[in-house]
């Protein structure tokens, strides 16, 4: 896997090349994904649900994310690794920098935070301290108890305008990457065109600058439930490697996500 950094991801956006990303939590899968050519690995706080069997990401701690970040870095030494900052680990700039530093020391290249314009001061503080930031807008899993469930965001005109304004504010604050989750496809395209940094979608249509999926969903490992925005790439294939390569190819070709995996306004 060739070494990718933020400048390389920005160049991919500028050249219209789709960015491919998957969550990873251990060295073995990280090595497989890197060997297949995935551009970005995310050590997500989704580990609370897919590894720990919890019903949300809220209980996950920085210590746990740091542990899995070390595992991923060991398996993929050259990968671009983003680590999630868990629930309530960035209530103020000082706390955010302390928690973010632990994830960077564990091997992350960037940290990811969920939230809108209220994060501007936090993003500024992190970047001043040398901690690159990926922002996250749309459906915010850490806020599921406030928003009342896992619902598509930005479906009305006001909500869409607010999300675009938040994206611009976070970019201006220093965020170098943005994840948008569970928003209408048209809004995913609008956000990607409205800002200069790369926009990676999950349930945001195929006009964003890239795509990310939770690895367990992409491999069909959750037999009870498969979100609308994902696809079991292992179906009809005889190896994990073939499934990952199919995901990469379909994202880069613009075949995934299709209309059946996307949301309308």
Domain locations in the chain as residue ranges: 6-261
Report pLDDT for 141: 80
DSSP label at residue 3: -
Report pLDDT for 148: 54
pTM: 0.95
Identify whether 31 is preceded by a cis peptide bond (ω within 30 of 0).
Answer: no
| Residue 162: exposure state from Cβ atoms within 10 A (0-12, 13-18, ≥19) | middle
Task: Report d(CA 83, CA 5) in Å as an integer.
Answer: 14
Report pLDDT for 223: 66
Set 171, 181, 245, 250: catalytic member = 181
Taking CA atoms, 41 is separated from 6, 37, 121, 138, in Å, by: 13, 11, 26, 20
Q: Of all helices (H) and strands (E), which one includes residue 35?
A: helix 27-36
Q: Phi first, then psi: what are they for 182, rounded to 5°? A: 50, 65
| Angle formed at CA 235 by CA 224 and CA 204, multiple of 5 degrees | 70
117 is an active site residue: no
Task: Report d(CA 132, CA 108) in Å as an integer.
Answer: 10
For 147, residues 6+ apart whose C-beta sits below 8 A from its C-beta are 139, 140, 153
Q: What is the DSSP string of 80-127?
A: EEEEE--TTS-SSHHHHHHHHHHHHHTT-SEEEEE-SGGGHHHHHHHH
Neighbours of 11 (CB within 10 A): 13
Q: Of all helices (H) and strands (E), which one includes residue 168?
A: helix 157-173
CATH code that applies to domain 6-261: 3.20.20.60
Give per-10-residue mean pLDDT for the chain (265 aa): 85 97 98 97 96 93 98 97 97 98 98 96 98 95 64 88 97 98 96 98 96 96 81 95 98 95 86
């Amino acid at each position: 896997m060739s070494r990718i950094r933020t400048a390389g991801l920005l160049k991919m956006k500028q050249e219209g090349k789709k960015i491919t990303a998957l969550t990873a939590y251990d060295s073995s899968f990280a090595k497989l994904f890197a060997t297949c050519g995935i551009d970005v690995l995310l050590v997500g706080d989704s580990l609370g649900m897919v590894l720990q069997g919890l019903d949300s990401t809220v209980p996950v701690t920085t210590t746990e994310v740091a542990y899995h970040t070390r595992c991923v870095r060991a398996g993929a030494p050259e990968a671009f690794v983003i680590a999630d900052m868990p629930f309530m680990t960035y209530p103020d700039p000082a706390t955010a920098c302390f928690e973010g530093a632990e994830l960077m020391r564990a091997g992350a290249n960037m940290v990811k935070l969920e939230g809108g314009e209220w994060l501007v001061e936090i993003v500024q503080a992190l970047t001043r301290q040398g901690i690159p930031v990926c922002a996250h807008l749309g459906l915010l899993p850490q806020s599921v108890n406030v928003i009342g469930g896992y619902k598509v965001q930005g479906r009305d005109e006001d909500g869409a305008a607010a999300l675009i304004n938040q994206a611009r504010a976070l970019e201006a604050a220093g965020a170098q990457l943005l994840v948008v989750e569970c928003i209408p496809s048209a809004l995913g395209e609008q956000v990607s065109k409205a800002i200069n940094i790369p926009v990676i979608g999950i349930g945001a249509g195929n006009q964003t600058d890239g795509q990310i999926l939770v690895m367990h969903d992409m491999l069909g490992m959750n037999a009870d439930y498969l979100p609308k925005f994902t696809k079991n790439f292992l179906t009809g294939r005889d190896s994990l490697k073939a499934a990952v390569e199919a995901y990469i190819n379909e994202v880069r070709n613009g075949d995934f996500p299709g209309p059946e995996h996307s949301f309308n306004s």
